[in-house]
């Protein structure tokens, strides 16, 4: 696993051993960040299920100004902190359930990455909390990675949907209605 582009391009990130964790592939990351490029300059991002921190680190590498990394797993957060330290990145990290992370978040974000374990169905709940707490700046988005084609609940539009084999990436924006 590596950083694909930007300031930290080519730097290798420490990853998980075994099959229990499913990191976002370089191919999917490359495609996703090609879509997100116009949103990254100066952005504040939330990597809600950060794992190794690869998505938030890629965003920082490509011009995001700040990132918050959250995970419920101590092992995952420790790996994320190891990767941040190896790159000399100072960032906020939190060890919380995604609900607590969203409810405790301060400020607004341009991008929220949601990459939970595939068997979980959290997208609708995440979007509801983000909307209720008004956590996105105008023009911001929630990027949901799963193995299903996620539909937009009330108050949201699915601005983009991409399929990469088993992996589906949906980009949600708040609707103006």
Does residue 14 belong to any structural domain of this protein?
Answer: no
* Residues 106 and 76 sit within 8 Å (Cβ to Cβ): no
Model-level pTM? 0.94
Does residue 5 belong to any structural domain of this protein?
Answer: no
d(CA 80, CA 22): 15
Does residue 19 belong to any structural domain of this protein?
Answer: no
CATH of residue 76: 3.40.50.150
Number of domains in the chain: 1
- Maximum separation of any 2 CA atoms in the chain, in Å: 45
Can you give the pLDDT of all 177 residues of the chain as single tens digits? Answer: 889 999 999 999 988 764 445 567 778 889 999 999 999 999 999 999 999 999 999 999 999 999 999 999 999 999 999 999 999 999 999 999 999 999 999 999 999 999 998 777 899 999 999 999 999 999 999 999 988 888 899 999 999 999 988 889 999 999 875
Range of the domain at 107: 26-174
Does residue 120 belong to any structural domain of this protein?
Answer: yes
Does residue 154 belong to any structural domain of this protein?
Answer: yes
Does residue 7 belong to any structural domain of this protein?
Answer: no
């Amino acid at each position: 696993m590596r950083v694909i582009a930007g300031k930290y391009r080519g730097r290798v990130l420490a990853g998980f051993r075994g099959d229990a964790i499913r990191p976002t592939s370089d191919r999917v990351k490359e495609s996703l960040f090609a879509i997100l490029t116009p949103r990254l300059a100066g952005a504040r991002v939330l990597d809600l299920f950060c794992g190794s921190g690869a998505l938030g680190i890629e965003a920082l590498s490509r011009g995001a100004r700040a990132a918050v990394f959250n995970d419920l797993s101590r092992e995952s957060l420790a790996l994320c902190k190891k990767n941040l330290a190896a790159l000399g990145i100072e960032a906020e990290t939190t060890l919380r359930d995604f609900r607590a992370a969203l409810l405790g978040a301060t400020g607004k974000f341009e991008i929220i990455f949601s990459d939970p374990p595939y068997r979980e169905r959290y997208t609708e709940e995440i979007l509801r909390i983000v909307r209720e707490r008004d956590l996105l700046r105008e023009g911001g988005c929630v990027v949901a990675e799963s193995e299903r084609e996620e539909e937009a609940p009330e108050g949201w539009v699915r601005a983009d949907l991409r399929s990469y084999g088993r992996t589906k990436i949906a980009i949600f924006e708040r609707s103006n209605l």
